């Protein structure tokens, strides 16, 4: 079987790299991860089937959300194992080289950017904060997510869409057309109120948390089509924090989350600094990866 190289991350060489990966989880396509050292840099990669990661195959697979989710989980499993012992520079999803020489060329061509990024990110981790306008049918957050207000959010809020005036869930059809229109208007007004509250919470949280972080990124709201994704995402932000300050940052999120109902705040991390791995050294997927 012909294989190509799937590259997860670049790091500086470190003691125990082989043992860390050997003891860690398997990566993309169920393949074990290994290292390739070259002139002061270390690439972490897997040997994966060429027929699955060729240009043509990737163009089709990148439209498959389930495949993307599986690939992202394998990618993150390896990067997270690295992040437990060193700060890696994660490369973009589906960075593929034809062979080991292609990986060396990637390290050579991006050496200056990789080195600067590793210096900038050394000793730092990423924390994620999401704010949702909560609906009672939303699924729970992903594994590892901390629902900051889970104990203070009612399953169905009084005045929330899907609730009666007395707070009990709606049941049965409206008696008249006028009752139906009144019900629809109440639901619309309640939904608008929840979204307005979520927006206000998002703005206040982001302003305050940015003061505790060295850098921040606000991403597009999470796509509800992704497996396990909840609807109603208002804020999807990442914060770069020194590793030793992580728990203090998490405490700030808890402190700044206001009491009340209808809004859910989700804290995740610490992650490898994906959102801050700014580099143009890896070509885009559309161009065939780092072939």
Output the pTM of the full model: 0.75
Residue 274 is given by DSSP the state G
Q: Which helix (DSSP H) or strand (DSSP E) does residue 242 occupy?
A: strand 233-242
Residue 163 is given by DSSP the state B
Per-residue pLDDT tens listing for the chain (291 residues): 689 999 999 999 999 998 889 888 999 999 999 999 999 999 999 999 999 998 888 888 888 888 998 999 999 999 999 999 999 999 999 999 999 999 999 999 999 999 999 999 999 999 999 999 875 444 455 555 666 643 333 222 333 333 334 444 445 566 666 665 656 666 554 556 678 889 999 999 999 999 999 999 999 997 776 666 677 899 999 999 999 999 999 999 999 888 876 789 999 999 999 999 987 666 543 333 455
Q: Sign (positive/negative) of CA torsion 179, 185, 191, 194?
A: negative
Report whether 271 contacts 80 (CB < 8 A).
yes
Give the Cα separation of 28 and 31 in Å (integer).
6
Question: Cβ neighbours of residue 147 under 8 Å, at least 6 residues apart?
Answer: 140, 141, 153, 264, 265, 266
Both tokens of residue 105?
């060329």
Q: Where are the alpha helices (DSSP H) in 165-276?
A: 177-212, 246-256
């Amino acid at each position: 079987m012909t294989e190509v190289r799937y590259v997860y991350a670049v790091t500086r060489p470190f003691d125990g790299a082989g043992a860390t990966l050997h003891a860690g989880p398997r990566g993309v396509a169920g393949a074990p991860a290994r290292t390739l050292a070259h002139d002061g840099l270390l690439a972490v990669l897997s040997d994966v089937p060429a027929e699955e990661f060729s240009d043509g195959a990737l163009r089709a697979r990148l439209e498959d959300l389930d495949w993307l989710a599986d690939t992202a989980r394998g990618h993150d499993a390896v990067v997270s194992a690295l992040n437990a012992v060193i700060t890696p520079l994660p490369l973009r999803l589906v960075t593929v080289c034809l062979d080991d020489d292609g990986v060396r060329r990637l390290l050579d061509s991006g050496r200056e950017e990789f080195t600067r990024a590793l210096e900038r990110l050394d000793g730092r981790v990423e924390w994620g904060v999401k704010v949702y306008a909560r609906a009672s049918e939303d699924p729970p957050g992903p594994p590892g997510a901390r629902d900051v207000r889970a104990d203070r959010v009612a399953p169905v809020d009084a005045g929330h869409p899907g609730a009666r005036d007395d707070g009990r869930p709606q049941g049965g059809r409206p008696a008249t057309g006028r009752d139906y229109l009144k019900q629809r208007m109440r639901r619309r007004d309640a939904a608008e109120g929840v979204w307005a509250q979520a927006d206000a919470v998002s703005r206040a949280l982001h302003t305050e948390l940015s003061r505790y972080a060295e850098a921040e990124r606000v991403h597009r709201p999470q796509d509800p089509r992704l497996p396990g994704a909840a609807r109603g995402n208002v804020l999807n932000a990442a914060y770069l924090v020194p590793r030793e300050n992580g728990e203090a940052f998490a405490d700030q999120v808890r402190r700044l989350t206001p009491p009340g109902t209808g809004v859910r705040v989700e804290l995740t991390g610490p992650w490898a600094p994906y959102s801050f791995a700014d580099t143009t050294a890896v070509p885009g997927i559309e161009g065939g990866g780092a072939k």
